[in-house]
Amino acid sequence: MSQINETHDPQLISWVESANQENNDFPIQNLPFAVFKRKDSNESFRAGVAIGDYIVDFAALVSHQVFSGDVARAIELANQENLNDFMSHGKDVWSQVRLALSRALRQGSDLSEKMKTCLVPQSEAVFKLPCVIGDYTDFYASIHHATSVGKLFRPDDPLLPNYKWVPIGYHGRSSSIDVSGQQFKRPKGQIKAPDAAAPVFSACKRMDYEMEVGIYIGSGNDLGESISLDNAEDHVFGMCLLNDWSARDIQAWEYQPLGPFLAKNFASTVSPWIITTEALAPFKTSWHRDEADPQPLAYLESETNRQSGAFDIQLEVLLETETMREKGDSANHLSVTSFKHSYWTVAQMVTHHTVNGCNFRSGDMIGSGTQSGPSHEEAGSLLELSFGGKESIALKNGETRTFLEDGDTVIMRGWCEKEGFKRIGFGEATATILPAS
């Protein structure tokens, strides 16, 4: 589990001036990882770390021999077209690189002149997935979301009996996960109206987003060996924003008895930056279970998880319609909530996933499931905000939505802030719906 250390000092200032600006997502206390190259170039994709409005180019760090010894070898591990190899080497290696970069980017660093030759403006970069995502599992970890959705379909019994006992999840599709900026066609599939005798084949009419947190596995575990609760976070490299798009009308017809299929596998969008668990250490908070609810079984219970198992990550969703883009209007805020409301912690999800001996591999991803807060305004999907499509949501330009239309762009943002520490951000995860083919 990551501890507070010198890299979190709120007094640290970088010689990269944009990193010191108020509310910049990427101060020196953050240093998230991504894979990038310059736009319209023949360069290879390679690793980089965000600092202010710039990216520290790992290829340049290697070619200019900025670091030496173990740090240089660790940076060479990351200087590839994906971060899997670097991620697999574990938290000591990740922390070593983070500390070296923090010291090199601080005001007054002896390495500042060398480092300046290794910066690329973020405005000149394009990104791809930061790692090869071998397997993807989506959980259902927000009790507020599960209850709200359950009430739409089972008003008298919204939560199924197992929900409060076991972290619910299903295996998703990794091949259709893409990085922010994704555009995808509206999916098609079987849809059955409640009063119809038979389904029809149609384009989705109830297109929705899901505001989630993506959790990247760093070091895996051997097949047959489980990961204990208090060691679980040591296997997590970091987190990102995740939009797990959902075709609600396709989902309603197909999900019984085996769960989501075509309603979920056509697109998922992640933000390009992985915010490391070490960077998130100051924003951990206590986790609790209502005394009236079943308490976790022994393998999902520990004092450490109770004291600091939750992450207070603010999660915001905005909508930009095609009309807004054409007129140059700003996007419309839809909701904001916090990941701290999750019914199950990151550690509990990791531990439960492996308790039967399932083996994680570096780069595997866990989705948290839609994150909704206790109030309606904190809902992480349109399904909840529109009460299942029964109430239109008024946008500030006069348009309305119950579900998403072609041309709509959904923008997700995330950040952490706490008194005594520097605010850090996740950047954005954006994607646009195109008409069905």
- Cite the active site residues: 145
How many CA within 13 A on the CB side of residue 282? 20
* Ordered DSSP codes for 279-319: TTGGGEE-----TTSPPPPGGG--HHHHHH-EE--EEEEEE
Q: Identify the CA nearest to 244 among candidates 323, 182, 193, 312.
A: 182
d(CA 300, CA 307): 14
Cβ-based neighbours of 175, under 8 Å, separated by 6 or more: none
E strands of 113-233, at which residues? Answer: 119-121, 125-128, 136-139, 169-171, 177-179, 182-185, 188-191, 200-203, 207-208, 211-217
d(CA 259, CA 294): 24
Q: Identify the CA nearest to 120 among candidates 210, 186, 54, 21.
A: 54
d(CA 78, CA 86): 5
Please give the backbone phi and psi of residue 162, each rounded to the nearest 5 degrees, phi first: -85, -10
Length of the chain: 437
Amino acid code (one letter) for 279 = A
d(CA 82, CA 361): 14
d(CA 36, CA 29): 21
d(CA 351, CA 411): 31
Strands 33-38, 46-51: parallel, antiparallel or unpaired by DSSP?
A: antiparallel
d(CA 18, CA 26): 9
Q: How far is CA 339 from CA 49, 196, 319, in A?
A: 24, 39, 20
Cβ-based neighbours of 131, under 8 Å, separated by 6 or more: 35, 82, 83, 84, 87, 216, 362, 363
d(CA 275, CA 241): 10
